[in-house]
Amino acid sequence: MYYEMRTYSVKVGRMKEYLKHFEEVGLPVISKYAKLVGWWYTEIGELNQVVHIWGYESLDERISKREDLYNDEDWLGLFVPKAFSMLERQESKLLRAADFSPIR
């Protein structure tokens, strides 16, 4: 199993709006293409960040599912324009669980 950890920095003062938009618009769309493992936002440390982890059976599945997402009309028309205007930067990491990890 492969996990993608995505970290987004949200513009100051826009967190509540971003959370609502993601929950109502983004999550239903992306859930058609990826399995949500967890979703968090920061309260201590570097503020105004959201971190979410998505699970994929293989890297090929990730490539295929992300391509499908990037062609989804609801993703492109309803989620991306509003969401991206609330973000300052993004980071994506692919993670592979160690043999002893409780999540594999």
- The domain total for the chain is 1
Residue 33 belongs to what domain range? 2-96
Residue 104 has pLDDT above 90, yes or no: no
- The pTM (predicted TM-score) of the whole model is 0.90
Residue 76 in domain: yes
Residue 77 in domain: yes
CATH of the domain at 33: 3.30.70.100
Residue 103 in domain: no
User: Euclidean distance between the first and final Cα of the chain, in Å?
Assistant: 6
What's the rounded Cα separation, in Å, for the pair 59 and 8?
A: 22
How much is the pLDDT for 20? 98
Question: pLDDT for 17-63, tens place per residue?
Answer: 999 999 999 999 999 999 999 999 999 999 999 999 999 999 999 99
Residue 65 has pLDDT above 90, yes or no: yes
What's the rounded mean pLDDT across residues 79-93? 97
Residue 101 in domain: no
Residue 39 in domain: yes
Residue 101 has pLDDT above 90, yes or no: yes
CA atoms within a 13 Å half-sphere pointing along the CA-CB vector of 70: 6
